[in-house]
Amino acid sequence: MRILLTNDDGINAPGLYVLEKIAAQLSDDIWICAPSEEQSGAGHSLTLTRPVRMRQHAERRFSVSGTPTDSVTMALKKILPAPPDLILSGVNRGANMGDDVTYSGTVSAAFEGALAGIRAVALSQVYAREGVGNAVDFSAAEAWGAKVLKPLLDMPFAPRTLINVNFPPVAAGEVKGVRVARQGFHDYARGSVVEGTDPRGFPYYWFGLHGIEHTAGSNTDLEAIAGGYVSVTPLQIDLTHEGSLDQLTDLYRA
Ligand code: MN
């Protein structure tokens, strides 16, 4: 089984080394292609206005001067000798739950795999708010990663879907188990905009992520993580809101 690893935290991110350890428990045919720099928040963006450069670090380890989507594209079209059986994206430094998934480069890299018809899983390690700015403990992801992935290897994924996995911010031994849960939502829009003055006296603005409030809805990824469980959420690329189709159709009926 050939596995492609990627992420949005960059080729040197600690979470990518954790993902390598997880993948090594599943196969010895592992390929890596990840952004050369951190691309958190890049979403599903594709670099169109400038060229990207690729660098080979080892026989099966590459970085790309672009987004997570660029990395998957390069891997599938230029690097791998044949398509992989599985794409794993992560392990992200921080949660990708609820509305996060629309901003997430980690999840979007998996989306890119799903669009190419390849089974894809995004993995993220949630950390406690006190952990902001500090090294993140990936021990829950490391201990539970292969355990969560193995049952998925025998399951045919529905077309144009992916699996989004989050690991709770607890020590490996304190993880309560695995919960299949739906995508939740945050109560408020994205966090703060910090305003400052640069050395030349001009204002700058910096988007922050801290303190996003949420109410853990029933059977959501947010609720599962709050309870100390690994969350497993199936996501689909089709964003159509089925419930509004009839209403809109009526609206435009002449
Ligand atoms: Mn990230």
Per-residue pLDDT tens for 233-252?
999 999 999 999 999 999 99
The pLDDT-based confidence of 192 (bands split at 50, 70, 90) is: confident
| Tokens of residue 177, six digits | 């188990």
**Nearest-angstrom CA–CA distance, 107 and 116:** 14
* Structural domain spans, the chain: 2-186+215-252
Peptide bond into 132 cis (omega under 30): no
Query: What is the CB-side half-sphere exposure of residue 60 using CA atoms within 13 A?
Result: 14
198 known member of a binding site: no
| Tokens of residue 107, six digits | 């999840």
Mean pLDDT of 97-113: 95
CATH architecture of 2-186+215-252: 3-Layer(aba) Sandwich (3.40)
8 known member of a binding site: yes
Asked if 127 and 136 touch (Cβ cutoff 8 Å), the reply is: yes
Written as one letter, the residue type at 158 is: A
Which pLDDT does position 190 carry in this prediction?
60
Per-residue pLDDT tens for 40-88?
999 999 999 999 999 999 999 999 999 999 999 999 999 999 999 999 9
40 known member of a binding site: yes
The pLDDT-based confidence of 169 (bands split at 50, 70, 90) is: very high
- Residue 200 Cα to ligand 1 midpoint, Å, equals 31
The pLDDT-based confidence of 128 (bands split at 50, 70, 90) is: confident
Which pLDDT does position 213 carry in this prediction?
62
The pLDDT-based confidence of 225 (bands split at 50, 70, 90) is: very high
pLDDT above 60 (res 211): no
Peptide bond into 136 cis (omega under 30): no
- Residue 165 Cα to ligand 1 midpoint, Å, equals 14
- Residue 4's φ and ψ, nearest 5 degrees, are -100, 130
Asked if 62 and 55 touch (Cβ cutoff 8 Å), the reply is: yes
- Residue 216 Cα to ligand 1 midpoint, Å, equals 22
The pLDDT-based confidence of 189 (bands split at 50, 70, 90) is: low
